[in-house]
Chains A and B, each alone.
Chain A
Amino acid sequence: MATERTQTDKDFLAELARGGFAESLSPHQRRQIHIETNLDSFLRSALDDGKQVVLTGNPGDGKTQHILMLQDEYPEEDYFYLLDASEYADYGDLIDEWQHIFANDTPGVLAINDGPLYEMATEYQEDYDFLKTVQEQLQNQIVYDADDGDDIDFRDLVIVDLNNRDVLTPSVITTAIRKFASEFATEGHNHSGRCHIQYNAEKLQNETIQENIVDFLTELGHYGGHITVRDLLNYLCYILTAGLKECQTSFGEELKYYNLAFEGQGSIFDLARERFQSPQLVHPFVDSRLWADAEQETSFSDRDEADTVVEPVFNQKKRRFLFEDALMDIGYESRSLYQNLEYDFINHRNGMSRQGNKEQLIKLLNGYFRPNNAKRSELQLWLSHSYRSKSSLALLSRTAIPKTDFEIRRPKLHPEISDAIAYTPSHTAFEYARNGTPIRLRIDRALYRSLGAFDADIPYTLRSRDVEQQILEFMEEVEYHETYSEETGTISVKDTETGRVERVDINDNIYRR
């Protein structure tokens, strides 16, 4: 649905809150909602250098938005723009046109969703050389080593995959809040008194609350999942307006931003409901104080009614505390609620202590198989082998690889595009690279959490076989690249039913213990 300029800004805001991001926003409206980031300067610089840039990603990533923002400064007569690849019924026609433009050295920006772009690159690269470059760049947006992908040609063509863009950064969130809360929400109110939009806008202009919203959203961003610019704008517009154009001058808790922050539809709301409601965020002192206040407020007396009477009020107070901690005089900051989150993984991912990190990970991996005997200096490799469809009765190990043969690699953007977008990796790679091609075990949040649980001595028989499979496949691959004696060795055998480990030396055709 097109949003006309005749709308007031707050009406426009309400449209956006209800998902009114059609591609048909007027140029003025596009300029209004645009949030300036590094990508804008990156694109200008690329066009100045005569390059073509392909913006790829998912719907809502802001590809079209960026093109429309450039067109005034870089007019269509001199630059090539592709707003929507789907208008071409046949990719062949598009690629022909693109190749023609590319051969003429015409700079420009093309917005192509990653699915069609991969399809084109897969299907047509034999016939069009430049598509090989496209594919190489697509496959090397993220690299693990400074040298990875350094032979790829970025001179005339640059692909930027906005799937990797971290939108929930403090600067983007702060800019967006300021833009919407102060520029949009405060105009067009022809009523007496104060409506819910004015109330929420005032609150969001409060510096402390703003900081807390930034903390809240950046913490949510740690949980991964792709968040688009459209998701963020949709979220902020909703917590300001609840999607209502009509101003509600008489309103209750349900229209206040801290409740709306958990009630809308979209990726960020889903993440907030999944991760940041009780009991995910627990703090003994804050919770007991808020619960006592809720009991007092509801004149609570019957314990059987605690769920229905007290808990809703408690939840509202807790939601408010997340953003208005300074105003509620609880004695704690809302940040203290985030302390129970999975900082182990975040610290690991961020490489807070590089060497200790690797050793800690080796200890966790060893701990999966031998919880009480987990070394940090070497990784013991285990083998599971059977032809039938059932997990093994016994695992074997004969090899330990020193820690020096492993590295923890942190994914980062290819240097050629690292200035374009902010990137927060969702994983690290535990890499073995002694002989040729690196072998990597992807350490993401789920695997790290599982390993942490194993360290806490969860019985072996209760563990997830999927996790074990991932680890064993990595170990089998590493073992293939190692060279050993076939005559001697010390072999450990783990009975998977009892957990007992037998160890025996074989040398000169004799067994010793």
Chain B
Amino acid sequence: MSLELNSVNGDASEWAFGFKATSRSLKPVHVAQVVFGHSLGHVHSPDLLFEFAEKPSKTPSEELSDEIKDKFEFDPREKNEQLDQLRQTLRKILANDNALYASQRGSAPTCTSDWFLINPTAGVTVGRFVHHLIKQTDSELREKLADQLTDHHDSISVLFRPLVKEAEKDTATVKTWQGPDADGALKEGHIAPELVDGFGTLSHHLKEPTSGAVNYPRDLRRVIKFGGFALYAYMANRHNEIRDEANQRPLRAPLLLNYTGGDENPVANASGECYDNVGTEVQAASRLGVEAILDTRGYRDSTEYDEDSIFEKIEAQELLDLNRNSDSKLQEDYDTFRYLFEGDPADDVFDRLVNAVTDAIHQSRYKTYTPIDTIQTFGWRSGIVKPRGNRANERRLAPDPEILEAILLSVLDPGEQLPLQQLCDRLRERYGIIVGGTDTDRAHLDQWDISVGTSTHESDPLSNRNYEGFKNAVIDLGFAQEYADGVTIVSTTIQ
């Protein structure tokens, strides 16, 4: 049986992470759709909405079905022009998350209530993981989400009501997250239980219904923002959790947030290293997955897969299942694979094969979309890393205020007051977040072989400039107040 790299890649991701983090198009709104659909247990099929939201340039208003047209009492003389104009503007609301595609496959409108929840095709297993974390909390988070989603008083729901109210309602395909084969993701000491606690604490900050209504979409955003961070932090720590115990590092993968305001300084560089480290760790977790999958498929059997027979299968173009129409491209693919296998320094043949397959999966020529690609792209889409786009070598960990707000609400109980340094300790211990406020920041980074270099023109930029920047960000959010003698008190009630 030949190896189909995409399938190995997906199965390896399932084994290591418990989901297929192999989607180029994964966006926060996909996660939102799955999490909300799973929370409610139902979805809709708003066909009229999707028809209406087609770009007028693709489907002019005059071609819309009568069922839609009858809902618009516009001046008949210019009805189509007016409709075109209105559709163009209203489409932007649904497409605010940049996931409204020409085809409905993978498409996901933004959502403020259940009327916009569809049976998504993108991000299903990833969303299921986030939902599983929510399900594990002892809080009322799911009830609060349900209250919010079944309320239709918000302006987006009212605006689209005539197009979605009567849409067919179906039972959502709700499956329990099975977890990774590698081990129990929620084991004590892993990061996932901390993330469960985080969702639980966040829940205490979400609104209760008032007079029967609970029109506050910001809470939906808070849940999904924290879900995005949870996904990032979980994947970053996965390799360390499933590798040989002897090599495990006791502290979380560091996430040094760059609050220096610049990108050419020791803190920004170390933050970039942390970002790279997340990539390295995700790739390493992926490699363990490849090893497990190849083992399961019998490639450890040295009678069939000794060095000579592997070379023979490469020569015969039998080892890999490559989707190429051109013979020359196919030959190039095999040549590349042979170089990878030949050049790998491992002693054991199986290890060499695992390494070669892992390297091939991470080469662009084989057109696999790996967990690293997924988490890096998702990182900037959800606002954890900057800059956006494809400038991967310039990226730093620098969360948007909205992500930071959700993270803070996940570690601060309502009414709790504590000094900023204690908050920094909490963030570091629970999530590996480092901002420069604790004595152990450098030791934590050292354990992961990341060092903050020195600066010629400022003293300890991590503990000074970066910590100050973080402090100001927390103050700007309304969660802290600064006092004399270097004391800053954090509380969600300061707002």
Query: B161 contacts the other chain (Cβ, under 8 Å)?
Result: yes
Complex alpha-carbon distance, A506 and B152, angstroms: 14
Which chain B positions have C-beta within 8 A of A113? 483-485
Q: Which of A394, A398, A500 has the most CB of B within 10 A?
A: A394
Asked whether any CB of chain A lies closer than 8 Å to the CB of B157, the reply is yes
Taking CB atoms, residues of chain B closer than 8 Å to A484 are: 153, 158, 215
**Residue pair A483, B211 in contact (C-beta under 8 Å):** yes
Residue of B nearest to A480 (CB): B216
Give the contacting residue for B487; candidates A119, A396, A502, A512; CB below 8 A: A119
Q: How many A-B residue pairs have CB under 8 A?
A: 169
| B127-182, CB < 8 A from A | 151-159, 161-162, 165
Question: Taking CB as reference atom, which chain A residue is nearest B90?
Answer: A493
Instruction: For B432, list chain A residues within 8 Å (CB).
Output: none
Q: Roughly how many angstroms separate A117 CA and B321 CA in the complex, as a whole number? A: 70
Q: A464-485 toward B: CB 8 Å interface, digit per residue (1/0)?
A: 0000010001001001110111
Q: Is A346 an interface residue (CB 8 A)?
A: no
A contact residues around B97 at 8 Å (CB): 386-388
Q: CA A59 – CA B92 in complex, angstroms?
A: 53
Shortest beta-carbon distance from B127 to chain A in Å: 12
How long is the Cα–Cα vector from A484 to B159 in the complex, in angstroms? Answer: 13
The 8 A CB mask of A30-59 against B (1 = contact, 0 = none) is: 000000000000000000000000000111
Task: State whether the Cβ of A266 lies closer than 8 Å to any Cβ in chain B.
Answer: no
On chain B, the residues within 8 Å of A511 by CB distance are 71-74, 86, 162
Stretch with Cβ within 8 A of A (4 or more), from B27-35, B248-256, B457-465: B27-35
**Bound complex: CA of A508 vs CA of B36, how far in Å?**
28
**Would you call B162 and A491 a contact (CB within 8 A)?**
no
Is A122 part of the binding interface, using a Cβ–Cβ cutoff of 8 Å?
yes
Stretch in contact with the other chain, from B12-20, B323-331, B379-387, B433-441: B379-387
Q: Is the CB of A396 within 8 A of B32?
A: no
Interface size on B, residues (CB 8 A): 65
Q: Which residues of B contact A394 (CB under 8 A)?
A: 89-90, 92-93, 96
Contact partner of B486 (CB less than 8 A), chosen from A115, A388, A500, A512, is A115
Instruction: Check A385 for interface membership: any CB of B closer than 8 A.
Output: yes
Contact B210 A486 (CB under 8 A): no
Chain A 93-129 per-residue mask, 1 if CB under 8 angstroms from chain B, else 0: 0000000000000000000011111110010000000
A513 within 8 A of B: yes
B483 touches A486 (CB 8 A): no
CB interface residues, B 366-419, toward A, < 8 Å = 380-383, 388, 400-403, 417-419
Q: Which residue of A lies closest to B158 (CB)?
A: A489
Distance to closest chain A CB from B97 (angstroms): 5
With A388-B29, A389-B382, A493-B159: A383-B487 Cβ-Cβ less than 8 Å: no
Measured CB to CB, the closest approach of chain A to B55, in angstroms, equals: 14
Q: Does A308 contact B (CB under 8 A)?
A: no
> By the criterion CB–CB under 8 Å, are A385 and B158 in contact?
no
Of the candidates B73, B112, B151, B207, the one whose C-beta lies within 8 Å of that of A510 is: B73
Q: What separation, in Å, do the CA atoms of A393 and B157 have in the docked complex?
A: 17
Nearest chain A CB to B361 CB, angstrom units: 27
Q: Give Cα A389–Cα B398 distance, bound, in whole angstroms.
A: 12
CA distance A392 to B28 in the complex (A): 14
CB of A435 within 8 Å of the partner chain: yes
Q: Is A495 interfacial (CB-CB < 8 Å)?
A: yes
**Residue on A with the closest CB to B87?**
A502
Alpha-carbon distance between A487 and B165 when the two chains are bound, in angstroms? 10
Evaluate contact between A383 and B484: CB separation under 8 angstroms. no
Nearest-CB residue, chain B, relative to A397: B155
A117: chain B residues within 8 A (beta carbon): 483
- CB proximity to A under 8 Å, residues B460-495: 483-487, 489
Q: Are A476 and B484 in contact (CB under 8 A)?
A: no
Shortest Cβ gap from A65 to chain B (Å): 16
User: Are B381's CB and A506's CB within 8 A?
Assistant: no
B69-104 contact mask (Cβ, 8 Å, vs A): 1 or 0: 001111100000010011001101101111000000
Q: Are B489's CB and A396's CB within 8 A? A: no
B110 partner, pick from A114, A386, A504, beta carbons under 8 A: A386
Cβ of B352 within 8 Å of any chain A Cβ, yes or no, is: no
Distance between Cα atoms of A412 and B427 in the complex (Å): 37
Nearest CB in chain A to that of B381: its residue: A388
- Distance of A438 from chain B, by nearest CB (Å): 12
In the bound complex, what is the Cα–Cα distance between A59 and B485 (angstroms)?
A: 8
Interface: A190 (CB within 8 A)? no
In the bound assembly, the distance between CA atoms of A489 and B165 in angstroms comes to: 15
Q: Is residue A509 within 8 Å, beta carbon to beta carbon, of the partner chain? A: yes
- Nearest residue in A to B89 (C-beta to C-beta)? A502
Using CB atoms, name the residue of chain A closest to B72. A511
Q: A480-B210, A486-B158, A506-B162 are in contact. Are A386 and B215 (CB under 8 A)?
A: no
Tell me whether A118 and B487 are in contact in the complex, defined as CB-CB below 8 angstroms, given that A506-B162, A511-B71 are known contacts.
Answer: yes
Q: Is B365 an interface residue (CB 8 A)?
A: no
Q: Which of A113, A393, A487, A513 has the most CB of B within 10 A?
A: A393
A385 and B96 contact, Cβ closer than 8 Å, known pairs A114-B483, A114-B487, A473-B218 = yes
Given A115-B483, A509-B162, residue A386 in contact with residue B73 (CB < 8 A) = no
Report the separation of the CA atoms of residues A58 and B214 in the bound assembly, to the nearest whole angstrom: 43
Q: How far apart are the CA atoms of A243 and B314 in the complex, in Å?
A: 85
For A388, list chain B residues within 8 Å (CB): 27-29, 96-98, 381-383
B489 and A57 contacting across the interface, CB-CB below 8 Å:
no
B221 at the interface (CB under 8 A from A): yes
B213 interface residue, CB < 8 Å from A?
yes
Complex Cα distance A86/B154, Å? 53
Report yes or no: B28 in contact with A387, Cβ–Cβ below 8 A: yes
Q: Does B224 contact A (CB under 8 A)?
A: yes
Interface pair B73/A396, CB less than 8 Å apart? no
Nearest CB on A from B168, distance (A): 16
Q: Contacts of B213 on A, CB cut-off 8 Å?
A: 483
A115 and B487 form a contact (CB under 8 A): yes
Q: Which residues of A contact B85 (CB under 8 A)?
A: 502
The answer to whether B158 and A491 have CB atoms under 8 Å apart is yes
Contacts known (A58-B484, A476-B217); A393 close to B95, Cβ less than 8 A? yes
Residue among A469, A476, A495, A509 making CB contact with B216, cutoff 8 Å: A476
Cα–Cα, bound, A315→B403 (Å): 48
Inter-chain CA distance A392–B75, complex, in Å, is 30
Task: Give chain B nearest CB distance to A134 CB in angstroms.
Answer: 13
With contact pairs A115-B487, A487-B161 given, residues A383 and B382 touching in the complex (Cβ less than 8 Å): no
Q: How far is the CA of A469 from the CA of B383 in the complex (A)?
A: 15
A397: chain B residues at CB < 8 Å are 155
Chain B residues with Cβ below 8 Å from A483 are: 153, 211, 213
Q: How far is the CA of A67 from the CA of B312 in the complex (A)?
A: 92
Complex Cα spacing A396 to B156, Å: 7
CB distance from A144 to the nearest CB of B (A): 15
Would A495 and B210 count as touching, CB distance under 8 A?
no
Residues of B within 8 A of A469 (CB): 401
State whether A504 touches B86 (Cβ < 8 A). Answer: yes
Q: Measured between alpha carbons, how far is A469 from B214 in the docked complex, in Å?
A: 21
* Complex alpha-carbon distance, A500 and B90, angstroms: 12
Asked whether, in the complex, the Cβ of B89 is within 8 Å of the Cβ of A506, the reply is no
Minimum C-beta distance from A391 to chain B (A): 9
Q: How far is the CA of A387 from the CA of B221 in the complex (A)?
A: 6
Alpha-carbon distance between A59 and B216 when the two chains are bound, in angstroms: 43
CA distance A16 to B489 in the complex (A): 33
Measured between beta carbons, the chain B residues less than 8 angstroms from A389 are 28, 380-383, 388, 400, 402-403
C-alpha spacing A487/B160, complex, angstroms: 10
Question: Can you report 24 A-B residue pairs in the complex whose CB atoms are below 8 A from each other?
Answer: A119-B487, A383-B155, A385-B110, A387-B29, A387-B97, A387-B110, A387-B221, A394-B96, A396-B155, A398-B159, A435-B210, A469-B401, A476-B216, A480-B207, A480-B215, A485-B158, A486-B151, A487-B161, A488-B158, A489-B158, A491-B155, A504-B86, A504-B159, A512-B73
Known: A113-B485, A493-B93, A511-B86. 15 other contacts (CB 8 A): A118-B483, A118-B489, A385-B221, A387-B110, A389-B388, A393-B96, A394-B93, A398-B158, A480-B210, A481-B210, A485-B158, A486-B152, A504-B159, A511-B71, A513-B82
Task: Enumerate the 6 nearest inter-chain pairs by beta-carbon distance, A residue then B residue, closest first.
Answer: A115-B487, A389-B383, A115-B485, A115-B483, A386-B96, A113-B484
